Structure 1
Amino acid sequence: MTTVVLICKECVPGRVKTRLTPALSPVEAARVAAASLDDTIAAVLAMPAERRVLLFDGEHVPAAAASFDVLHQVWGDLDERLAAMFDTVEGPTLLVGMDTPQLTRAHVAPVFVRGTDGQEGADHDAWFGPAADGGFWGLWLREPRGDLVRGVPMSRDDTGAVQLDRLRAAGLHVGLLDELLDVDTIADAEAVAALAPGSRFAAALATVREDDPDAGRDLEEARR
């Protein structure tokens, strides 16, 4: 069965969601990021996975992920960190990030569908979850291999296209998951909160607006 890996970092002010500043203070951005992470952990816990892994950058593992195995990120660029993980795990593996708190079990349902061979993945070798900013929020590999990710330029508007081309060039039969919006900017945060109004993330963002009038004004300006 599939292992689900959640890549994340400890939500320390000044280290997470820095693009939410100056509209939010570093402390407020970290609070919102922590809520996003908790939402994503809850989504992963709802998935019918055999194993759940936190690919973690930090010292203090979130309490909500107490049942996860912890694999610390190696040093290097994001592609190297992801590649090292895919070289370490065994068996079908789904990678998701912490920037899509609207993620639900339904978004990754095809990954867990058994195909004609009786294996998960619905007769695909890979499933790819594109992000609206040109990156990707999810990647499932039936046979995890670091070389399928290593060297892909990350954090660019063509990252997803390059990664998808890499998978197809390797001869993999790739299925596409729904496109999701990553939370990078204040405008993204507002949009995602509207998509998931009952989420911890939406509640944290609303609390920030109530506690800090200046943040609220900046959010209103970003919305226009």
Structure 2
Amino acid sequence: MRSPTLLVVAKAPEPGRAKTRLAARTGAEGAATFAAAAFLDTLDAAAATGWPVVLAMAGDLDHAVQGAEIAAACAPHRTARQRGDTFAERLVHAHADADAGEGVVQIGTDTPQVTSADLVRVADLLVDSDAVLGHAEDGGWWALGVREPRWARVLVDVPMSRPDTGARTYEALVSAGARVAEAGRLADVDTWEDALELARTAPGTRAARVVQRIASQREPVPSRDTGEVR
């Protein structure tokens, strides 16, 4: 296998639509600012692979935080609009749109700590496998590599955004007859606690610097569940 296509599934960081769970602690603007930084971090890692990159986009960069900067970073790559009624359908279509005959490695923008080495590891595993799954710490997955887009079709039967999405995706691939390898685990950033952990473990990323800036400015916010001030 030569260089696969790197498929980045992304959403424009529009306030009120981006990182809504994080926004509960940072506000809509803060969450969108984080999402913009994470988007740019992901594009840095993508570009560093030297592979062809395809972006499957949702939303409107004209109304996004740092929309012009993100658009400029996307300009060297091919962009396709997401299509389909469900997120799983959009992923399946995105794999078909991105495929150039050398395999596809798909990521999102929720793991801004991802490196080009992480992505190359997925591609290396794909040489002797039909699919590669990189599990996320929350039970989902951060990367899916497939030698042929037909393997991504199993996603239409997998419930998304659940603690067992990763396990169900693995099972669906195996049930379809795929030889599946597993890549290393990474942590998604969905909550303020996740963001703080990112700032601790990947302080050199743009996203971590946004977290550090928000943390230095924000007032303690009572937890909705316990009333505890954090």
TM-score (norm 2): 0.86
Answer 1 or 2: which has greater helix percent: 2
Q: 1:98 Cα shift?
A: 0.3
The DSSP-based 3-state class of the residue aligned with 1:177 is: strand
Dislocated runs of 4+, deviation >6 Å: 219-224
Moved more, 93-102 or 15-24: 15-24
> 1:156: how far off?
0.5
1:110–1:30 CA distance, 2 compared to 1 (3 A): same
Unaligned runs of at least 5 residues, structure 2: 62-66
Cα deviation for residue 37 of structure 1 reads 0.8
- 1:127 aligns to what SS in structure 2? strand
Query: Residues 7 and 95 of structure 2 are in contact (CA less than 8 Å); yes or no, is this contact kept in structure 1?
Result: no
CA distance in 2 between counterparts of 1:35 and 1:86 reads 25
Where 1:134 maps in the other structure, the secondary structure is coil
Aligned to 1:23: 25
State the Cα deviation string for residues 42-87 of structure 1 (Å, max 9, x = none): 01111131x1011100232622222110010114221011011123
CA contact (8 A) 1:126 1:140 kept: yes
Counterpart for residue 64 of structure 2: none
CA distance in 2, matches of 1:3, 1:219: 44
Q: Which amino acid aligns with 1:199?
A: T
Contact residue 4 and residue 94 of structure 1 kept, 8 A: yes
The 1-side partners of 2:205 and 2:174 are apart by: 35
The alignment covers a number of residue pairs equal to 214
- Matched ranges for 1:136-147 at <5 A: 136-145=141-150, 146-147=152-153
Q: Which sections of structure 1, spanning at least 5 residues, go unmatched?
A: 114-119
| CA 55–160 in structure 1, closer or farther in 2 if over 3 Å, else same | same
Could you tell me whether the CA contact under 8 Å between 1:6 and 1:95 is conserved in 2? yes
Q: Residue 70 of structure 1: SS of its match in structure 2?
A: strand
Distance in 2, Cα, partners of 1:218 & 1:182: 22
* Aligned pair partner of 1:71 in 67, 80, 84: 80
Q: How far apart are the structure 2 equivalents of 1:109 and 1:147?
A: 23
TM-score, normalization: structure 1? 0.88
Q: Secondary structure at the match of 1:161?
A: helix
1:134–1:159 CA contact under 8 A, matched in 2: yes
Report the equivalent of 2:204. Answer: 198
| CA RMSD, Structure 1 to Structure 2 (Å) | 2.1
* Whole-angstrom CA distance in 1 between matches of 2:192 and 2:165: 22
Note the 1:1-224 alignment, pairs <5 A. Answer: 1-49=3-51, 51-60=52-61, 62=70, 63-90=72-99, 91=101, 92-113=103-124, 121-145=126-150, 146-210=152-216, 212-214=217-219, 217-218=220-221
Distance of aligned partners of 1:161 and 1:207 in 2 relative to their CA distance in 1, 3 Å threshold: same
Structure 2 counterpart SS, 1:150: helix
Structure 2: how far apart are the matches of 1:105 and 1:219?
38
Q: Secondary structure at the match of 1:54?
A: strand
